[in-house]
Structure 1
């Protein structure tokens, strides 16, 4: 290659390096992302210093000291490709000029266009006319002129930004759904921001907002401070409500989101979220605060003004390759604070244990785990927000210890597992007491208990020549309880008991291959023998009050989910499983079974259907009859009359036009001793490509009322989604007369602009 060709090619490559990455776009802000992977190495075969130049003609003009390439000029370097009709390199001034249908394809796939381009000698500055670009995710930018001031600052004049399609649909005028126009756009890579001057936001070609100054995060920045999508509501409690989150990046590993909520009828409410990543873990804390009177279901304020707040925090940290520790802190000043101010994502798992609905659970724990053992140590405190809750009756659990160990080698040819558990419960007030403490009538104390358990289990599997599988097992357990504050008993009592069971699981699977699938039929039986169950009245049943007899525990030797209650006696668990699977993905399963006992066991609650010699029937089934449709049902039928004692059924349907999720539950006797019947549905359906409706509903069939109804109208295209949602929710609310059950109505507007924010239920 001649020196003139090298000089020309160097100028062309300089142009490629100059403009690549000079994009000004927007992005969805995601908190604390993982570090971006290193860019993939260039694979064009040219290496880091290699050049490629192709043109119809190359002219060297020694008089004017220029080199000119004309006619379908193409230059490549470092994975970037430059195409133009003419490229001129002035060896004296070290200026490169390109003209005519300039196209630059970058290594990341983004494409940039220009009519004319000029670069300086050291390639740190340049100027382009008729500039435009296209990059992921579907971002398009056009400008009359583009100026690269230096390596970190790019400037566009009379620019337009949009992620929407710009080609006219049938009957359309070609205007994008939304776009931002500005007299000047500046991309500052040092600050990782894109600034706009005199910005106008247009929707369907109509200006809807004018902002003298506007900015958002650089598309090339991992994360950057800025406004997040707002939440707009009209509710009965607060009137018109506008919540505007703002993300402030504090460091590469921490950030805070401030979300002031401005309400027409009540004082503002400030939400704050702090996130921090450490080398060994993370911390996240949500908090809210207001100074206001109480609010009833109609938005009327009553009572005294006071400080009202909440805290929802969690963290998890690695101590070493085996030990972790973490915590969850959940507290609120008001039972109805989350309802009054529409605080989302409250009752979810933040640590080891998941709280019930309308209950908060603070925890701290440590876990050690390897391939053969597990150890957890935890402490738990609960705050109840339900109408019937009395926080004095919730025990403080400290500590709660669980340990498991399994030897690496087999023991007597089978698998041995050793388990230990311990818990200390301290309760301020007995759960069944409704008497409030007074000087004359002191607060009745709740029962405090301490338990230590050691357990070992052994199992071995055999397969006979006939195909019958036999799995004998042995389980032994020893419990020690120490209880105090028993009614009518002074001091404390210590109770010990030994428990055990021996038995075997027996199954005989039959397999048949079909033309386009297969069938598996499997009769299953479990024989278990243990001493008769006998619950000492001094042992409080704390962990086995609520459980369902279903297909999940039908073949468990001890169906009790906790330690306080233990299944005893001689029993036979019998049933059958069937499964049909088709090669095209269709399938169906069925399980039917029940439990038989030699003696009645009244320790099981009547609602379980287990206390009789012959238990209720357990039936469960699932099916995928066609692609996109999943069905399931599980039920428990009376042992004599086959009446439905419990039924749960549902369907999941997905289609290119939307989805529907349906759940139905009927329980003849729930944990509170009441009949329950509920129906829930979640659905979204698009009648056309752009117009759709959404519905979220929860109906109490037993009482004949809807607990919640969300009805939404949706419009969407490739770059915009608008949801208008009417929500009616029946809730317990505070009133001057006391707690009442009232409906709460609200209207929500959700606007989602592609690359500037996303949304969803």
Structure 2
């Protein structure tokens, strides 16, 4: 039987005792605290004479959080030295750093000494092997004739995929830095780079100044180039990343600044380029965002987006946005109250759009309050306020389409006050009933109006609605659950739309979210008027096998057409709401237990012809993330769509094998029979390296854009620049 002897007091006296007593003049209050007692566990512990303590057999020692494992430990009290026989394992308190060795001679605190045939493993990532390691003051580890790698090293004699060989490596445990003298970067033991001096952070350090993963890019527009990011740690709460990008046709400096505060954070991204691509040699952009928690539950957010020209973001693949928005917002959301105020500035990058005549400046303010009614009438009252204003740089009062450079310059201000009462009941047979009564007041002020609108307008809008729902549930013998819910709503909205321009409700989406709304316009500058009814039926099935299926249909019926004050119908021809009987709304979804999801939604007119339709199929599991989307939009000049839109989009990421994965994306314009964009990439990853090769092509062209092709190569050495979070990529010595 193994005899385990725990001798805290003996080791504290013999092994780790203080070298001298305290001075007589030192008081008890000022005396330093004695070191924590050491714990020694072994199969056998005995005294060899009066000066040596010997522990043999499965030795474990613990002192100040540091743990030692060995086959034999001999402590010489006269020299205050430990002679240790291996195999040896020394673990630091945090568990992210340990040393392996064949033999060692160390002081009693394990802070100074020599370890032979040693290896250091940090964060289960980086391995440092050397013939000899010298420990100095418990802070420095000096390795001679060392090899450093994060690759799995097996006893087959084959070299690791990559390693850094150095005459000497110094590891500073306090600063968590590695310093190399006469370093060679080797790939499969072949030297490819020599550096007389090299400094790298060890993997236990989350943030450190230094180079990040470089990448090589070949662009048909910008030429062949290299991007080398450099990370600068300014403090524990802020950093700066500078990325020089040097290519045949450009000299670019990209940058990112981040800072965290006690109540929020900010991030700025931008770039400055001097290139030979366009008429302007100097080009730049900046994107910024931030969030701050303010007193009384308020949240402040800001977002800045600006660029020097219309094509800069696309040329350098910084962003695909063609309309930029910068916003300052303050918001508070509570259970019974919502407050929001925002100032937004838009910048259009689209060919043919003029920022002079588009509403580039927008102000919004919202307030809503929910008040429960405790009297016999019950329910709750909702009080609301909306303030909106948008402004154009143009001062022309000639009315016309927004994309016309000589169009109007009207500015609009609106205020809306509303009061609503809601009450719900549960009727016999489980029928759910809800009644809504409301009154809204809209006030408009328009400048530079032209002849198609009044300069001032106001309207009082009463409304009422009754809705009935009857949820029915059934569970089959097989365990599947079916829920069927028919819904019927009857609504009435009084008043008439004032003679003001339609600037806010230009694009209408008719779907399940607003099927039972009293008005499906997006803003109060237009409202649905008169008597209407909406009906719908939804069915949902939950299977015991993990399958989930749902289907919903609905339609809106009105007593009269919705007419715009300027003439014609208030809804566009592709909205699905332009007639007294709306298009039939059909939506469905299927989910399986293996990650497959099919979603579709469409609007169908009286002839069952498609007005709008979209479908999405996706498969997400451990090895694949694949999705395909189809969209169809009928032509509608009122929505600036002169022709039908029919487009396919495909994206995929597939784990081909343990170490290989592929990526692909593709967009195809069916209406014009042209490919819009396509991309293909392949990645090899294991525990020590991550290599990605990708190619992409943008086929679209215009007066300011031309087709481009990009090829990118990125190589990352895991352990220093990136961590191996996903252990499924780690190789084993068997394969």
TM-score above 0.5, yes or no? yes
Matched residue, 1:494? 456
Matched residue, 1:456? 419
Please say if residues 80 and 107 of structure 2, whose CA atoms lie closer than 8 Å, have aligned partners that are also in contact: yes
Please say if residues 139 and 173 of structure 2, whose CA atoms lie closer than 8 Å, have aligned partners that are also in contact: yes
Structure 1 Cα separation of the partners of residues 513 and 586 of structure 2: 11
Structural mapping, 1:296-695, within 5 Å: 303=279, 306-343=281-318, 346=319, 357-397=321-361, 399-407=363-371, 412-429=377-394, 432=401, 446-488=409-451, 493-514=455-476, 515-531=478-494, 534-537=496-499, 539-601=500-562, 602-638=569-605, 640-669=606-635, 671-673=639-641, 674-695=643-664
Offset of residue 624 of structure 1: 1.2
Structure 1 Cα separation of the partners of residues 329 and 366 of structure 2: 11
- Aligned mate of 1:130, from 68, 93, 117: 117
Structure 2 Cα separation of the partners of residues 214 and 88 of structure 1: 38
- Aligned mate of 2:168, from 146, 159, 184: 184
Offset of residue 408 of structure 1: 5.5
Higher RCO by CA contacts (8 Å cutoff, separation 6 or greater): 1
Offset of residue 413 of structure 1: 1.6
Structure 1 Cα separation of the partners of residues 175 and 65 of structure 2: 27
- Aligned mate of 1:209, from 171, 186, 193: 193
CA offset digits 1:356-412 (Å, max 9, x no partner): x31111222222443322222221111111112211122243532111111256573
Please say if residues 574 and 612 of structure 2, whose CA atoms lie closer than 8 Å, have aligned partners that are also in contact: no
Structure 2 Cα separation of the partners of residues 758 and 222 of structure 1: 10
Taking structure 1 as reference, are residues 10 and 549 closer, same or farther at Cα in structure 2, changes over 3 Å only? same
Q: Please, what is the CA RMSD of the aligned residues?
A: 2.7
Structure 1 Cα separation of the partners of residues 302 and 351 of structure 2: 27
Offset of residue 220 of structure 1: 2.8
Matched residue, 1:702? 671
Structure 2 Cα separation of the partners of residues 368 and 339 of structure 1: 36
Helix, strand or coil for the counterpart of 1:338?
Answer: helix
Offset of residue 480 of structure 1: 0.5
Structure 2 Cα separation of the partners of residues 595 and 631 of structure 1: 26
Structure 2 Cα separation of the partners of residues 495 and 758 of structure 1: 61
CA offset digits 1:236-265 (Å, max 9, x no partner): 11110211111101112111110111012x
Structure 2 Cα separation of the partners of residues 167 and 145 of structure 1: 20
Helix, strand or coil for the counterpart of 2:257?
Answer: strand
Matched residue, 2:267? 284
Offset of residue 758 of structure 1: 5.0
Is 1:94 aligned to residue 94 of structure 2?
A: no
Structure 1 Cα separation of the partners of residues 36 and 138 of structure 2: 20
Matched residue, 1:720? 689
Matched residue, 1:440? none
CA offset digits 1:396-440 (Å, max 9, x no partner): 43532111111256573212221111122221236626776xxxx
Offset of residue 564 of structure 1: 1.2
Structure 1 Cα separation of the partners of residues 325 and 8 of structure 2: 76
Please say if residues 7 and 89 of structure 1, whose CA atoms lie closer than 8 Å, have aligned partners that are also in contact: no
Helix, strand or coil for the counterpart of 2:455?
Answer: strand
Q: Which stretch of the first structure deviates more once superposed, 587-596 or 276-285?
A: 276-285
Offset of residue 572 of structure 1: 1.0
Structure 2 Cα separation of the partners of residues 610 and 582 of structure 1: 35
Instruction: State how many pairs are aligned.
Output: 686
TM-score by length of 2: 0.87
Taking structure 1 as reference, are residues 292 and 749 closer, same or farther at Cα in structure 2, changes over 3 Å only? closer
- Aligned mate of 2:104, from 109, 117, 139: 117
Matched residue, 1:274? 257
TM-score by length of 1: 0.85
Structure 1 Cα separation of the partners of residues 35 and 384 of structure 2: 60
